[in-house]
Structure 1
Amino acid sequence: MIVVSSATSNTGSAVADTLLAAGEQVRVLGRSRDRLQRFADRGAEAVEVRTDDPDSLRTAFTGARAAFVMIAPGFIPDSDDFPAHQRRVIDAHRKALAGLGGLTRVVSLSGWAANYDGARGPVWGLRPLEEALDTLTEMEVVHLRPGWFMENTFPMIDEIRATGTAHGLIPADLPLPAIATADIGAVAADLLTGRRTAGTRTLELQGPRDRTLAELTAAVGTAVGRPDARYEQIDAATLRAGLLAAGFSPHMADGTTAMTSDVAEGRIAMTRPRDAETATPTTFEAWLTRVLGTVA
């Protein structure tokens, strides 16, 4: 049995889908039994849990030989103390997994922000998650540190469709290690089943090649019939104001702005060159072709 935590998240669902397609016995965990039903329809065991409840998590992980874990929800727009939420989730998973008989392998979803000691905002908890799981010395633990998710372009796609212009704090010409969550799920599934081994405890995942937001904007514009689409950089104050207008709490608006600034100014970055171990196959153009129907 392989347990997939937060199976209704983008990455969790990619892990579960890959495992089920390979014929693995899978138990999916989530906060809503209804949202887990699509996995149950394919033969998975579905269990409703709270991510900050160590007792229900321990019961859900019991009997597993491998487990995929992450902080979820990874974003709460109206939170007034998101680090407190992250600490609760991290502590609950550490307690739930510690000394669990039969569990030999854990794969966590971390991120490239864990490369930076001073990470701020919603990604603050990634390094603490890794450190908590590293205390589970009786099992093999691998932390995945993927780069910039291609799914981050969903708001850009909507904006380009509507106006022909995308806006963001990250410079238009900054190379980003753009990666599809489906590829992260495939790597995680291979590690969970033992089909793949990681040479290190942390594994960066970088996509097939770096892409700039100028390039991604052009690709989206071509795909949605806006061939003259362009990207305009905004400043931190403008980003924060937009987040507040969208319903973010001041705490989350500040944290999200700080996190984005860390990427924009190069503090969050990959630490090793792209190679056969860190590269994943899906190009942005292939990803875009696949998802455009879901954002119509």
Structure 2
Amino acid sequence: MKYVITGSLGNISKPLTQKLVAAGHTVTVISSHEDRKAAIEALGAKAAIGSIQDVDFLTKTFAGADAVYTMVPPIFTASDWKKHIGDTGEIYAQAIKAAAIKHVVNLSSIGAQMPEGCGPVSGIYRVEQAFNTLSDVNIIHLRPGNFYTNFYANIGMIKHSNIIGGNYGNNTSVVFVHPADIAAAAAEELTALTFKGHTVRYIVSDERTTTEVAKILGTAVGKPELPWIDFKDEDSLGGMIGAGLPEEVAKNYVEMGKAVREGAMFEDYYKHKSEVKASKTKLEDFAKEFATAYKQ
């Protein structure tokens, strides 16, 4: 079959492409960077270089595909991050319709039931809504948990302050996922193409408390007593801005952290938890990868 993959050589799109190519499928990978063309072709895929903000480019690239995998990459320069994410979803939807695509696997997020109050995920809510206007397209929205890999941003904090933390709250239970598990689920859905209508699939690797996160990651890097510190929202905001994040992005991340702390982000997932099969990569598995990155 013929597939188009957005997301360039990202930590989901690259392994997804590798899986599809290995299975003998024809894969086109969209990237905005000309210098990634050779690396994409080295995977055995075709490279389509252009912008996902260009509906004509997308329509031309999507044409003839059996299915498309869509995702909205993080753009930290947007003046209104939620709007940017939602607008990108509208562009995708226009191209999907114009190219007469019949199957779409869309990378959404846990918490995407929230039209407001969940930072960038409330932008992804808008993407889902835009896609769901396509009545004659079969769409599955993949809603993964919080990425383990986001903890790489805490390495400096652990090294220099001997703490790990955020505004998630004390001993709060968090739903996590490994990007490799998302890629595996996306490949499964793309190769089977058994989904009909507009559906949601949650992808979850593990559920752990923030206390357990500190203990497991701390032990992996030789600091078994590493504490999880709960930051106030205003302190989280100031810390992110001080670390160089634009204020718009920092505000959205703080808002998402609040949704984690209050449980709103996981509310819909818990309603469907009995239907969700846990993926294979547990926090202890990721801790080994974290320790390797920590040593670099």
TM-score, normalised relative to structure 2? 0.90
Contact 1:7-1:36 within 8 A present in 2 as well:
no
Distance between the aligned counterparts of 2:27 and 2:291, measured in 1? 29
User: Which residue does 1:26 correspond to in 2?
Assistant: 27
User: Which residue does 1:100 correspond to in 2?
Assistant: 99
Contact 2:59-2:98 within 8 A present in 1 as well:
no
User: Which residue does 1:164 correspond to in 2?
Assistant: 162
Please give the residue correspondences for 1:160-239 in structure 2 after superposition, counting only pairs within 5 Å. 160-194=158-192, 197=195, 201-207=199-205, 209-239=206-236
What secondary structure does 1:34 align onto?
helix
Distance between the aligned counterparts of 1:174 and 1:42, measured in 2? 40
Instruction: Check if 1:282 corresponds to 2:276.
Output: no
Report the more deviating stretch, 33-42 or 198-207: 198-207
Q: 1:252 aligns with which of 242, 249, 256?
A: 249
Please give the residue correspondences for 1:113-124 in structure 2 after superposition, counting only pairs within 5 Å. 113-124=111-122
Contact 1:239-1:257 within 8 A present in 2 as well:
yes
Contact 1:172-1:232 within 8 A present in 2 as well:
yes
User: Which residue does 1:51 correspond to in 2?
Assistant: 52
Distance between the aligned counterparts of 2:194 and 2:281, measured in 1? 19
Contact 1:203-1:278 within 8 A present in 2 as well:
no
Distance between the aligned counterparts of 1:60 and 1:147, measured in 2? 30
User: Which residue does 2:110 correspond to in 1?
Assistant: 112
Q: 2:139 aligns with which of 131, 138, 141?
A: 141
User: Which residue does 2:151 correspond to in 1?
Assistant: 153
Contact 2:138-2:198 within 8 A present in 1 as well:
no
Letter in 2 for 1:18: K
Contact 2:105-2:186 within 8 A present in 1 as well:
yes
Q: 1:125 aligns with which of 123, 126, 130?
A: 123
Letter in 2 for 1:260: G
Once the two structures are superposed, residues 40-62 of structure 1 have per-residue CA deviations (whole angstroms, 9 ceiling, x without a partner) of 10210011121211011111111
Indicate how the Cα distance of structure 1 residues 178 and 239 shifts in structure 2: closer, same or farther if over 3 A, else same: same
Distance between the aligned counterparts of 1:132 and 1:97, measured in 2? 11
Distance between the aligned counterparts of 2:162 and 2:197, measured in 1? 44
Indicate how the Cα distance of structure 1 residues 291 and 246 shifts in structure 2: closer, same or farther if over 3 A, else same: closer
Distance between the aligned counterparts of 2:189 and 2:151, measured in 1? 28
Please give the residue correspondences for 1:9-20 in structure 2 after superposition, counting only pairs within 5 Å. 9-20=10-21
Please give the residue correspondences for 1:62-77 in structure 2 after superposition, counting only pairs within 5 Å. 62-72=63-73, 74-76=74-76
Contact 1:8-1:36 within 8 A present in 2 as well:
no
Contact 2:117-2:256 within 8 A present in 1 as well:
yes
Distance between the aligned counterparts of 1:52 and 1:195, measured in 2? 26
Letter in 2 for 1:228: E
Contact 1:161-1:224 within 8 A present in 2 as well:
no
Same amino acid, percent of matched pairs: 26
Indicate how the Cα distance of structure 1 residues 287 and 21 shifts in structure 2: closer, same or farther if over 3 A, else same: farther
TM-score, normalised relative to structure 1? 0.90
Report the more deviating stretch, 111-120 or 195-204: 195-204
Distance between the aligned counterparts of 1:257 and 1:283, measured in 2? 25
What secondary structure does 1:106 align onto?
strand
Cα RMSD, aligned residues only = 2.2
Displacement of 1:158 after TM fit? 3.7
User: Which residue does 2:36 correspond to in 1?
Assistant: 35
Contact 1:7-1:16 within 8 A present in 2 as well:
no
The structure carrying a bigger helix percent of its residues is 2
Displacement of 1:195 after TM fit? 6.6
Distance between the aligned counterparts of 2:22 and 2:119, measured in 1? 35
